[in-house]
Amino acid sequence: MPFESRIPEWLRSNFAAKLGAVLLAVGTWFIIDSIISNKELLSDVPLVIRTGEGLAVLKRSVDSVDVVFRGSREDIQRLKRGEVSVEISTGEASGRTVIRLKPEHVKAPRGCRVVSMDPETVDVELDREDEKKVPVRPVTEDALPDGYVLDKLIPTPTNVTIRGPVGQLKDVKEIRTRPISLKGRNGTFRERIALAAPSDIWDARMDPERVMVEAAIVEHTSEKLVEAVPVSAMVGTGSRLLIRVEPSHVNITLKGGEDILKEADVTRISAYVDCSGMDAGASSVLPVKVVPLPRIAVDRVEPDVVNVEVGVR
C-alpha cells in the first residue's frame, strides 16, 4: 500500500498548511518555555518545623534548605530571601521521624514554582517541651574609639524565659543577645536587641524575644601628680591682713584623658583657701580649693585642709 494511502484523508487535505501550523506551535512553545524557564537557586532558606502540643525539636539534620525555582524573569526578580521559607509539620509524631520535603512546603511569592530542594528529606527528633528562666548576657562587636572604654552592660530584663526540649534545656545556663556594635560610640547609649538562639540544631522560644541593653561608655582616664603647688590666700579687696598658711604647699592629683593630660600645662594649676570671712588674730582649719583646667578633673588634694592664721601687716 502506498505511503500516501496510509495518511488519513483529513490530514492529506491542506497538508502543507497543517504542517506549518504544527511547526509554528512547536516554535511558539519553545519561545514561551525559554521565557518562563528562568531558574534561580536560593541557598540557606530557613527551615521552620512545627510540632505537636507539648513537644519540641530536640535535634534536626539541617536548619536550612537550598531551593531551586523556575519562572519568568519578572517572577524570579520578585523573589526575596527574607520572604521565602520552608515550613513543615511533625503532626502527631513523637520521637524520631523523617519528613520528605515537597514543593507545597515552600512559602514564597506567587509566580515561581519549585523545581528541586536539597536535601530532599529532614531527620527530626522530638522531645517533651519544658521551660526555665536564665540570665541574659549582652554581646558586643567592633572596637570603641581610642580613649574610651566599656564600663558596663545592663540588660532589661536581666532574665528571660526559654522554652525548648527537656534534653537540651538542662545545658542552657544563659541566653546571649545578638551582637551590639560599639563602632563610633563615645557615650552611654541604649539599644533594643534580639536574643540569639542557643543552638542551630534545636528550636527554642524565648519570652521576651528582645531586651533593652544600656551600654555605659566612659572616657579612658589617666592620673597625673602635680607636686608642691603653692597655696594662696583669698582675701577681700584692699585687705591689709597678713595670712600665714601651714603647710604652704600641697600635692594635687589630676584625672583626665591620657592625651589631654600629656598636653596640659600643669603650671597653670593653682590652689587657694578662702579667708575672706576671717578677721585679724583669727585662726582656722580651711579646705584647700583648686582652680581646675579645662577637661581635667581634680581627683584629690594632699593635704586637703591647711591651718590658717590671720595677722596685720
- Whether 125 and 150 have beta carbons less than 8 Å apart is answered as no
Query: What is the rounded CA–CA span in Å between residue 252 and residue 304?
Result: 9
User: Which cell is 6 given?
Assistant: 496510509
Q: Which of 180, 197, 219 is at the close of a domain?
A: 219
- Residue 312 confidence (pLDDT): 76
**185 and 211 assigned to the same domain:** yes
- Residues of the chain where predicted confidence (pLDDT) is lower than 50: 3
Q: Are residues 171 and 191 in the same domain?
A: yes
CA 174 remoteness from chain centre: 17
- 228 and 206 in one domain? no
Strands 64-71 vs 159-165: parallel, antiparallel or unpaired: unpaired
- Grid cell of 80 as nine digits: 526575596
Which DSSP string do the residues of 173-210 spell out, in sequence order? --EEBPPEE-TT--S-EEEEEEBPPS-SSS--EEESSE
Q: What is the pLDDT of residues 137-164, one digit of tens each?
A: 999 999 998 778 898 999 999 999 999 9
The type of residue at 107 is K
**Are 136 and 123 in a shared domain?**
no
Statement to judge: residues 170 and 189 lie in one domain: yes
Domain co-membership, 245 together with 308: yes
Let me know the angle formed at the C-alpha of 241 by 239 and 244, rounded to the nearest 5 degrees. Answer: 135
Q: Which of 187, 219, 251 is the last residue of a domain?
A: 219
Task: Please check whether residues 98 and 134 belong to one and the same domain.
Answer: no
Q: Among 201, 219, 237, which residue terminates a domain?
A: 219
Q: Are residues 53 and 21 in the same domain?
A: no
- Three cell numbers written together for 141: 562587636
Q: So what's the pLDDT on residue 82? A: 83
Would you state the pLDDT for residue 220? 79
Q: What is the pLDDT of residues 228-271, one digit of tens each?
A: 999 999 987 777 889 999 999 999 999 888 778 888 898 899 99
Q: Which three cell numbers stand for residue 231?
A: 597655696
User: What CATH code is carried by the domain that includes residue 247?
Assistant: 2.170.120.30
Structural domain count, the chain = 4
Instruction: Look up the CATH number of the domain holding residue 196.
Output: 2.170.120.40
- Using left for φ > 0, alpha for ψ between -120 and 50, and beta otherwise, residue 81 falls in alpha
Which residues form the domain of 165? 130-219
Is the bond into 247 cis (omega within 30 degrees of 0)?
A: yes
Q: In this structure, are 268 and 282 located in the same domain?
A: yes
CA separation for the pair 112, 105 (Å, rounded) = 14
- 225 and 304 share a domain? yes
The pair phi, psi for residue 153, each rounded to 5°, is -125, 125
Q: Are residues 255 and 288 in the same domain?
A: yes
Identity of residue 278: M
Residues 154 and 180 occupy one common structural domain: yes
- Judge contact between 24 and 31, C-beta under 8 A: no
Q: Report the pLDDT value the prediction gives residue 35, as an integer from 0 to 100.
A: 55
> Could you tell me the pTM of the whole model?
0.54
Distance CA 313, CA 311 (A): 7
Per-residue b or e along 30-67, where b marks 16 or more CB atoms closer than 10 Å to that residue's CB: eeeeeeeebebebeebebebebeeebbbbbbebbebeb
Query: What is the per-residue pLDDT for 155?
Result: 96
